[in-house]
Chain A
C-alpha cells in the first residue's frame, strides 16, 4: 500500500542554520505530495504541495522539490527562525480520497 516515511523524529537547530527534513514515499500511482506544519496547540496548515517532477515549490522561505526518480520530497529552508519550531508532516495523495501522512518531524529551533 501507499506509505510515507519521515526518518527524523526530532531535529534541533540553532536559529540561522539551514535545515532539511526528509520525506520519501511509496506508491504505484501518480503522487501528490504535501508538507503540513502544526504549531503547538494549533491546527495543521498546508505549507507546500507538488505533483510536478523536478520542479521546486516555495512558500514562506521553505522549499521542496518532488523527485519521482528517488520518491522524495524533502523540505528545506536556508535559515531557520525561532518561529519555525513546530511539527512538520509530509503527506501523500494518489488521486483517490485518502491522504497518507508520515509520522512527523518535530523541529526545535534554539536562540
Chain B
C-alpha cells in the first residue's frame, strides 16, 4: 500500500483565499508530482520535483500556484487566490526515479472546494 500522506483530506475556501495543501512522499522517493483531478476524473499535471528542484511545471502553476519540496519538510502546493474552477481533487504522487517510466505512488488526495 502507498504511504504517501496528504493533508488535509478536505479543504474549503472562499474565492480569493489562499489554499495550501501538503504531501509527504513515500520514504526514499526523491521525485514528487502534483496533479489536479477534476469532476470528470481527468488528470492535469501541475508540477514535479526531484529533491528540491522543479523538473517541469505548466503555465497555470507558474502564475497562480506556488509549490515547493524543502528538504526535511513536507512538500506543499498553494493556490495564491482560489477560483471556483480550482475546485478539484489534488493528488500528490512520488516515485523512486525521475523518469516517467517509473511507477508513481499516489496519496489519497486533498479535495478542495472553492465556494
Contact = CB atoms under 8 A, between A and B. Distances in A.
Interface of A: 32, 34, 36, 38, 41-46, 49, 51, 87, 89, 93-101, 103-104, 106
B100 A94 contact: yes
Given A97-B48, A97-B55, A43 B107 contact: yes
Q: Which of A34, A41, A96, A97 has the most CB of B within 10 A?
A: A97
B108 A43 contact: yes
Nearest to B107: A43
B41 interface: yes
A106 B106 CA distance: 19
A106 B108 CA distance: 18
Contacts of A103: 40-42
Interface in B40-92: 40-43, 45, 48, 50, 55-56, 91
Contact of A93 (B56, B99, B106): B99
Contacts of A34: 103
A98 B108 contact: no
A93 B100 contact: yes
